[in-house]
């Protein structure tokens, strides 16, 4: 298994966590897992919506010390 | 209705008037000019020689030189033209005002070259 | 100490000038030296391209000689770097020169990469190079009405530009008197019309008012003549496609394997390249999750200027970059606003005013004083 690619988008507002995820997904290989860190309130809903719409996979999602961690696997 | 208007209203009116009078092009030109002025001011204030010149312009000697020059100009206007040649030049050089000015100019260049 | 700045864009120029001012004594004595290597002898005001694309600025206003913007104590060469040898503190330039440094600053920037999406380059107009902006204006001036789509790739330079170009297009078509013949459709990669929530909340009703339709969560996958298809399995038909293309860092960064996509992994506060204490990165070249914008490069350059000068003079940096970004937002109809934020404070943009539009208009011409490190 390859290491998870960490995308630290804590305390960032523009372009924001989802745009960072999309950007990093494009650079990743199919099968890679990306762990996104976000403190943005909207991310909890936005990110799964986009991931499902495009057809990637949410592997894990949890909140630790007020930071949302979402692990996404690139499927295509 | 009172003809008195508050300061805020005056400011608002002024801003509105200024706004209506301005066009993008005018603002762009003003911006351009401001840009050039800032760059010139920056160059001048960080050029040691020019700053020295400006500092010297505040000294008494400099004021004296300007005085002397104005006196010289005045007397030049009033006096008939010299006949020229070496004789004329010597006559001009013997004038204490001219000597003072030349000395100051000499000091000036010496300072600038330091 | 030899400080080498690679890249003569906004970040590199402000940083080099800032350092030259702070280290004027050391430079005069010869104990320090600043060298800049750039790919061009001209400096372009990149935000001006947006204005060129809609006929609001001429191309001649975009350029100045790079040398005229630099402090005379900076040793400037048009000789781009081709090889970075970070282990041996040296670079090799295009002309074959090997240059050693004590401190390296990389500010090579980013570029539009429409080629990254099949069919995008051939079927769209964009405004990230002079040639593209001029071609876009020519296309616009011949446009007589129809479907116009604005589509944005990720990541991109200047997050405000998708909105700004849309508002400028509305203005442009209105001025031409053909607005009633235009159907303008705006698409955006994430779930709202702009990445900043308050900006999105303001812009969406503005779009409604003007009759601009929009679709969010729209990431371009492919463009065929007359149609753009998204990764989310949606599509939009167009007669004219205006795009903010996805961006990449410079090829030289990828070739030297300094960072994926040409963006170098950078410490968000110290701005050093991860794992390297004497290599700093600024502007679009970083992989930081903040706006790729001139103001970001500007504030990073100021923080770095202070830190590098402190390293030269005291051996230690003195401050962190706080993530500050300040972006003007042209809102069309002669009005503008701005958004300012940093790592700790979210933006809180206010309603657009004409005063801020003039400020931006004046700033477009005052950029050169900013590049010289004056304002």
Q: What is the DSSP string of A21-59?
A: HHHHHHHSPTT-EEEEEE--TTHHHHHHHHHHHHT-EEE
Domain boundaries along the sequence of chain A: 5-73
Touching C: A residues 41-60, CB under 8 Å: 42, 45-46, 49-50, 53-54
Over residues C196-216, the pLDDT tens digits come to 989 999 999 999 999 999 999
Q: Which residues of A touch C217 (CB under 8 A)?
A: 49-50, 53
A14 is catalytic: yes
Contacts of B1 (CB under 8 A, 6+ apart): none
Using a CB–CB cut-off of 8 Å, the residues of B that contact C are 15, 19, 22, 24, 27-32, 34-35, 38-39, 42
C110 pLDDT more than 70: yes
**Over residues C51-80, mean pLDDT:** 96
Q: How many domains does chain B have?
A: 2
Over residues C234-253, the pLDDT tens digits come to 999 999 999 999 999 999 99
**Over residues B78-107, mean pLDDT:** 72
Q: Which two tokens stand for residue C209?
A: 């008012």
Nearest CB partner across the interface for B35, out of C334, C357, C368 = C368
**What residues pair up with C273 in beta bridges, in sequence order?**
C266
B68 pLDDT more than 90: no
Over residues C331-366, the pLDDT tens digits come to 998 999 999 999 989 898 889 998 899 999 999 999
Task: Using a pLDDT cut of 70, give the percent of chain C over it.
Answer: 100
What's residue B77's pLDDT?
66
**Over residues A8-30, mean pLDDT:** 92
Residue B64 lies in a domain: yes
Quick check: B32 and C369 CB within 8 A?
A: no
Question: C94 or B52: whose pLDDT is higher?
Answer: C94
Nearest CB partner across the interface for B39, out of C354, C362, C368 = C368
What's residue C129's pLDDT?
97
**Residue owning tokens 């700790």:** C344
**Over residues B87-95, mean pLDDT:** 75
In which domain, by residue range, is B76 found?
A: 49-113
Touching B: C residues 306-335, CB under 8 Å: 334
Task: Using a pLDDT cut of 90, give the percent of chain C over it.
Answer: 94
Q: Which two tokens stand for residue C18?
A: 């800032």
Q: Which two tokens stand for residue C167?
A: 């508002």
**What residues pair up with C337 in beta bridges, in sequence order?**
C329
Measure the CA dihedral B9/B11/B14/B16, to 10°. -70
Over residues C289-299, the pLDDT tens digits come to 999 999 999 99
Nearest CB partner across the interface for C365, out of B15, B22, B28 = B28
What's residue C214's pLDDT?
98
Residue B93 lies in a domain: yes
Contacts of C24 (CB under 8 A, 6+ apart): C73
Q: Which two tokens stand for residue C195?
A: 């990445």
Q: Which residues of B touch C366 (CB under 8 A)?
A: 31-32, 34-35, 38
**Over residues C36-40, mean pLDDT:** 98
Does residue B41 sit in the same domain as residue B53? no
Quick check: B31 and C365 CB within 8 A?
A: yes
- The answer to whether C52 touches C59, Cβ cutoff 8 Å, is yes
With cut-offs at 50, 70 and 90, classify the pLDDT of residue B105: confident
What's residue A21's pLDDT?
95
Quick check: C344 and A19 CB within 8 A?
A: no
Q: What is the DSSP string of C72-115?
A: TTSEEEE--EEEEEGGGTEEEETTS-EEE-SEEEE---EEE-GG
Residue B1 lies in a domain: no
**Over residues B69-73, mean pLDDT:** 71
- Radius of gyration, alpha carbons of chain A: 11
With cut-offs at 50, 70 and 90, classify the pLDDT of residue C35: very high
C165 pLDDT more than 70: yes
CA nearest to A16, candidates C21, C320, C325: C325
* E strands in chain B: none
C256 pLDDT more than 80: yes
CA nearest to C143, candidates C116, C117, C192, C177: C177
**Over residues A7-29, mean pLDDT:** 92
**Over residues C74-88, mean pLDDT:** 98
CA distance C175 to C178: 8
Residue B38 lies in a domain: yes
CB atoms within 10 A of CB A67: 13
Domain boundaries along the sequence of chain C: 2-109+250-324, 113-247
What's residue C169's pLDDT?
98
Indicate the burial class of C316 (C-beta count within 10 angstroms; 0-12, 13-18, 19 or more).
Answer: exposed
Please give the residue of chain C at the shortest CA–CA distance from A16.
C195
What's residue C125's pLDDT?
97
With cut-offs at 50, 70 and 90, classify the pLDDT of residue A44: confident
Quick check: A16 and C346 CB within 8 A?
A: no
| Total residue count of chain A as it appears in this document | 76
Distinct helix (H) and strand (E) counts, chain B: 6, 0
Element (H, E) at C148: strand C146-152
B73 pLDDT more than 80: no
CA distance A75 to chain C (A): 13
B80 pLDDT more than 80: no
Q: Does A39 reach chain C within 8 Å, measured CB to CB? A: no
Residue B2 lies in a domain: no
Using CB atoms, which chains have 3+ pairs under 8 A with B? Answer: C
- The answer to whether C107 touches C12, Cβ cutoff 8 Å, is yes
Nearest CB partner across the interface for A26, out of C154, C196, C233 = C154
**Over residues C264-283, mean pLDDT:** 97
Q: Which residues of A touch C327 (CB under 8 A)?
A: 14
Q: How many CB pairs under 8 A join A and C?
A: 75
Do at least 3 CB pairs under 8 Å connect A with B? Answer: no
Quick check: A42 and C191 CB within 8 A?
A: yes
- The answer to whether A32 touches A74, Cβ cutoff 8 Å, is yes
Q: Which residues of B touch C361 (CB under 8 A)?
A: 24, 27-28, 31
B114 pLDDT more than 80: no
Homologous superfamily of C2-109+250-324: FAD/NAD(P)-binding domain (3.50.50.60)
Does residue B35 sit in the same domain as residue B54? no
What's residue A5's pLDDT?
92
pTM of the full structure = 0.88
Task: From the options 3.40.50.1820, 3.40.50.2000, 3.40.50.10860, 3.50.50.60, give the CATH code of C113-247.
Answer: 3.50.50.60
Does residue B56 sit in the same domain as residue B81? yes
What's residue B5's pLDDT?
79
* E strands in C231-361: 235-237, 240-244, 247-249, 279-281, 325-332, 335-341
Does residue B77 sit in the same domain as residue B101? yes
Q: Does A14 reach chain C within 8 Å, measured CB to CB? A: yes
Residue B89 lies in a domain: yes
Do at least 3 CB pairs under 8 Å connect B with C? Answer: yes
- The answer to whether A70 touches A47, Cβ cutoff 8 Å, is yes
With cut-offs at 50, 70 and 90, classify the pLDDT of residue C374: confident
Q: Does A30 reach chain C within 8 Å, measured CB to CB? A: no
Does residue B14 sit in the same domain as residue B58? no
Does residue B109 sit in the same domain as residue B66? yes
- What mean pLDDT is reported for chain A? 91
Task: From the options 3.30.110.40, 3.40.50.2000, 3.10.180.10, 3.40.50.920, give the CATH code of A5-73.
Answer: 3.30.110.40
Using CB atoms, which chains have 3+ pairs under 8 A with A? Answer: C
Question: C74 or B86: whose pLDDT is higher?
Answer: C74
Indicate the burial class of C242 (C-beta count within 10 angstroms; 0-12, 13-18, 19 or more).
Answer: buried
């Amino acid at each position: 298994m390859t290491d998870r690619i960490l995308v630290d988008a804590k305390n960032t507002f523009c372009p924001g966590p989802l745009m960072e995820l999309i950007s990093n997904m494009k650079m990743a290989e199919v099968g890679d897992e990306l762990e996104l860190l976000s403190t943005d309130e909207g991310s909890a809903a936005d990110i799964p919506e986009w991931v499902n719409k495009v057809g990637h996979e949410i592997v894990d999602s949890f909140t630790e010390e007020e930071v949302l961690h979402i692990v996404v696997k690139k499927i295509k | 209705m009172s003809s008195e208007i508050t300061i805020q209203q005056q400011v608002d009116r002024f801003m509105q008037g200024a706004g209506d009078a301005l066009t993008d092009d005018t603002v762009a030109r003003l911006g351009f000019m401001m840009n050039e002025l800032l760059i010139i001011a920056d160059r001048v204030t960080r050029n040691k020689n020019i700053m020295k010149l400006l500092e010297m312009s505040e000294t008494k000697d400099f004021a004296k030189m300007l005085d002397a020059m104005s006196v010289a100009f005045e007397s030049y206007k009033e006096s008939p033209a010299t006949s020229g040649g070496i004789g004329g030049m010597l006559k001009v050089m013997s004038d204490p005002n001219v000597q003072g000015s030349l000395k100051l100019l000499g000091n000036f260049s010496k300072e600038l070259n330091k | 100490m030899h400080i080498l700045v690679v890249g003569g864009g906004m970040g590199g120029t402000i940083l080099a000038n800032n350092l030259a001012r702070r280290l004027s004594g050391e430079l005069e004595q010869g104990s320090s030296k600043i060298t800049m290597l750039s790919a061009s002898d001209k400096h372009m005001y990149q935000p001006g391209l947006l204005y060129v694309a809609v006929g609001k600025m001429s191309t001649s206003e975009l350029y100045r000689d790079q040398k005229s913007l630099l402090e005379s104590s900076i040793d400037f060469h048009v000789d781009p770097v081709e090889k970075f040898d970070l282990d041996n503190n040296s670079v090799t330039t295009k002309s074959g020169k090997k240059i050693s440094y004590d401190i390296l600053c990389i500010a090579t920037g980013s570029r539009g990469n429409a080629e990254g999406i099949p069919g995008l380059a051939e079927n769209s107009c964009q405004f990230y190079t002079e040639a593209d902006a001029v071609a876009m204006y020519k296309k616009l001036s011949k446009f007589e009405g129809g479907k116009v789509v604005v589509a944005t790739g990720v990541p991109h330079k200047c997050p405000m530009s998708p909105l700004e170009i849309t508002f400028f297009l509305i203005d442009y078509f209105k001025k031409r008197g053909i607005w009633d013949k235009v159907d303008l459709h705006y698409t955006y990669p994430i779930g709202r019309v702009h990445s900043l929530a308050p900006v999105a909340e303001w812009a969406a009703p503005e779009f409604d008012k003007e009759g601009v339709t929009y679709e969010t969560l729209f990431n371009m996958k492919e463009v065929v003549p007359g149609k753009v298809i998204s990764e989310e399995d949606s599509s939009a038909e167009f007669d004219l496609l205006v795009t903010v293309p996805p961006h990449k860092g410079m090829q030289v960064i990828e070739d030297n394997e300094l960072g994926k996509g040409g963006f170098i992994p950078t410490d968000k506060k110290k701005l050093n390249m991860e794992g390297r204490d004497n290599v700093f990165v600024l502007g679009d070249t970083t992989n930081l999750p903040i706006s790729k914008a001139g103001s970001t490069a500007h504030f990073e350059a100021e923080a770095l200027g202070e830190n590098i000068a402190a390293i030269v003079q005291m051996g230690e940096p003195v401050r962190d970059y706080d993530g500050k970004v300040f972006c003007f937002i042209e809102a069309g109809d002669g009005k503008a606003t701005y958004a300012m934020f940093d790592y700790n404070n979210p933006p809180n943009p206010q309603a657009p005013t004409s005063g801020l539009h003039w400020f931006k208009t004046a700033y477009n011409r005052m950029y050169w004083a900013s590049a010289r490190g004056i304002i």
